Amino acid sequence: MSERNSGWIVLTTYSSDWEARIAKGRLEEAGIPAVINNEGFAAIYPIGFNSIGGLPLLVPAPEAARAAKLLGL
């Protein structure tokens, strides 16, 4: 994981970019920072990203419980 993501955890992994983007948007609207890992790869190769493990949605570790509740996880 990059230095930018230090202290962040994978909240969940999505198999489609639209699901990941909706979840990220919901979190950001609630004031929770979120990062979609592999997002650039999914934009370039929209069919092939599942072969690299899907799209992990990361949040800061202290926000994980609140984020999970917000997304119903």
Q: Is residue 31 part of a domain?
A: yes
Judged by average pLDDT, the poorest of 12-16, 19-23, 64-68 is 12-16
Instruction: Give this prediction's pTM.
Output: 0.75
Q: Residue 29 — very low, low, confident or very high, per pLDDT cuts 50/70/90?
A: very high
| Dist CA 42 CA 49 (whole Å) | 5
Distances (CA, A) of 10 to 35, 39, 44, 59: 9, 14, 22, 7
Number of domains in the chain: 1
Whether residue 15 lies inside any domain: the answer is: yes
d(Cα 24, Cα 29) in Å, to the nearest integer?
Answer: 9
**Residue-range definition of the domain harbouring residue 18:** 3-67
In a domain, 72, yes or no: no
